[in-house]
Structure 1
Amino acid sequence: MLCSTCRLRPPVTADGRCLLCAGPAGAAAPMPPAPAFFAPQQYLRSPEGLAKAVVVLLAVVAVADVLAVAAGLNTRRVLAAGLANDFATYDEAAVTFADDLYAAASSLQTLTYLATGVVFVIWFRRVRLNAEVFDPSMQSMRPGWAVGAWFVPIGNLVLPRRIAGGIWTASAQTNTDGSRRTVPATVMNLWWGAWVCSQIISQYTARRYWGAGQPQEILDTTGLLVATDAFDIVAAVLAVLFVRKLTRMQGERAALGVYPLSAPGPTERAHWGRAH
């Protein structure tokens, strides 16, 4: 049997409403035993420290992308100058510098992407575990998928967004009076759309680049690389907005102290405070 209003949670009042739909008046109602699929109550842990680290690393990623754009434009300029006179005049020093500059920018991108990816996944797992405390009924996948979903071929274009949606909903579900509220998911959708597009475009551009043999083909694919790096900058900015927004939402939700399964005790709220 589910709540007569939201049809999501077990009822706790005589008229068949859950804790959130009943508001403060329903807080004193006895809670029925939790269904077997509900995870046991866990401690809340603040994601703010991890969020700050992710934001800083994303900023470094954006800087690396800017350098890659500059290096790509320089490479394209050198190639275009050679093609203009059919390489009658060949500036070997300029070509060598362009290659070295682009290789250095690519290496920096790889390092920053890896570091950011690791810290982001740790932050993502942290907010997923908090969502399990806020409202486990909104989580369609187990907490371990907050990490594993990113490593599933093809599935990593869909599954993390599904998990993020559950986290978002659970983190923005109550007002101070216990009533339901909805936060527009525009930032999350823009971030996810940009990330997926970035992955697809990067794969396509890399294949085109490594398959290019003629000078004109190399020139064209270099332009694609520049456009891809520029799009990555946009994706990084949207990721920053998403991380900051979701982290702030969880802080606000933790401060309310309204939970579907049981009211948080002083230990849980203190644990969040110490994690700051």
Structure 2
Amino acid sequence: MPAPRPVPGAAPHPRSPIGLGRAAVAALGLVIAVDLFAVFAGFKVYDVMGDLVNGATGDAVFHRADAAESLNSLAGKVQSGSMLVCVIVYLSWFVLVRGNAGVFDPAEQSMKPWWAVVGWFVPLLNFWYPRRITLEIWDASSPVGARRSHLLVNVWWTLWILSLLVDRVGYLEYGESAGDIRAAAGQTMIFDALHIAAAALAILVVLRLTRMQHEKALARAGVPVGL
């Protein structure tokens, strides 16, 4: 049976964000798990390099150093893979809720829909455009007359920006001495810790926005929630 054709002039319907919201939460959870593994691997490097800095020698300590470096390298590769998956899933959800926000309150959306993707990747602009879009989605999705607190979004975004800045600092040139490698490992662990905190708050943002949009769609008289 052919799908019904859209009725010209019909009001657009919001789409259910629940499926992609759950997928985004799962992807962010994966990132947290992998980051925890990376913290463990980074600590192994930090610990053994501390021994070398303090003058430890012998086959045992060098074997530990090699094992720690291998584990840390594996953690980096797994992190890259988990982040790629998360970016794809999260942006799919973000585009969907941005589209729904345009249905709920078009006047609230000051930016074109394509900024929901492009805004994350344009240098400098990506320090505030995604937050701005998120806040506009948040306001459009909030219940009518409800107090619109942006605290959760602002704290999440602050941690995300801090993690980016620490990551940039981590790209500064270090030497190949045990002390330099130890310093780099410590810097990486700080980044991973901030990244974990930001991902945990991102989960809360996804859950809250998904629930608000679902409830608002149900509250709209005569407007079905698309599946």
TM-score by length of 2: 0.90
Counterpart contact for 1:212–1:221, Cα < 8 Å: no
Deviations 1:126-175 (A, max 9, x none): 0000011100000000111111111111101111111111111110141x
Cα distance in structure 1, aligned partners of 2:132 and 2:42? 35
Paired residue for 2:158? Answer: 193
Deviations 1:90-111 (A, max 9, x none): 5332122111100111111110
Q: 2:197 aligns with which of 230, 234, 245?
A: 234
Paired residue for 1:9? Answer: none
Counterpart contact for 2:27–2:82, Cα < 8 Å: yes
Asked if residue 202 in structure 1 is aligned to residue 171 in structure 2, the reply is no
Asked if residue 213 in structure 1 is aligned to residue 176 in structure 2, the reply is yes
**2:210 partner letter:** T
Give aligned pairs, total: 217
Identity level (%) = 34
Paired residue for 2:147? Answer: 182
Q: 2:186 aligns with which of 223, 227, 248?
A: 223
**1:230 partner letter:** A
Deviations 1:194-229 (A, max 9, x none): 111111111111x23x43333222212211111211
**2:17 partner letter:** P
Gaps (5+ residues) in structure 1? 1-39, 175-179, 258-263
By relative contact order (CA 8 Å, sep 6+), the higher-ranking structure is: 2
Asked if residue 168 in structure 1 is aligned to residue 131 in structure 2, the reply is no
Paired residue for 1:244? Answer: 207
TM-score by length of 1: 0.75
Counterpart contact for 2:27–2:85, Cα < 8 Å: yes
Paired residue for 1:67? Answer: 37
Counterpart contact for 2:166–2:190, Cα < 8 Å: no
Aligned-pair Cα RMSD in Å: 1.6
Cα distance in structure 2, aligned partners of 1:138 and 1:212? 50
Runs of 4+ in 1 over 6 A off after TM superposition: none
Cα distance in structure 2, aligned partners of 1:149 and 1:161? 10
Moved more, 130-139 or 76-85: 76-85
**2:108 partner letter:** M
Cα distance in structure 2, aligned partners of 1:218 and 1:92? 14
Asked if residue 89 in structure 1 is aligned to residue 58 in structure 2, the reply is yes
SS in 1 for 2:29: helix
Cα distance in structure 1, aligned partners of 2:205 and 2:104? 19
Paired residue for 2:128? Answer: 158
Counterpart contact for 1:169–1:182, Cα < 8 Å: no
Gaps (5+ residues) in structure 2? 1-9
Cα distance in structure 1, aligned partners of 2:119 and 2:191? 24
TM superposition shift of 1:41: 4.0
Asked if residue 45 in structure 1 is aligned to residue 15 in structure 2, the reply is yes
Asked if residue 131 in structure 1 is aligned to residue 101 in structure 2, the reply is yes
**1:186 partner letter:** L
**1:64 partner letter:** V
Cα distance in structure 2, aligned partners of 1:171 and 1:237? 21
Asked if residue 117 in structure 1 is aligned to residue 74 in structure 2, the reply is no
Cα distance in structure 1, aligned partners of 2:114 and 2:38? 35
**2:151 partner letter:** T
Paired residue for 1:99? Answer: 69
Q: Which has the higher helix share?
A: 2
Larger Rg: 1
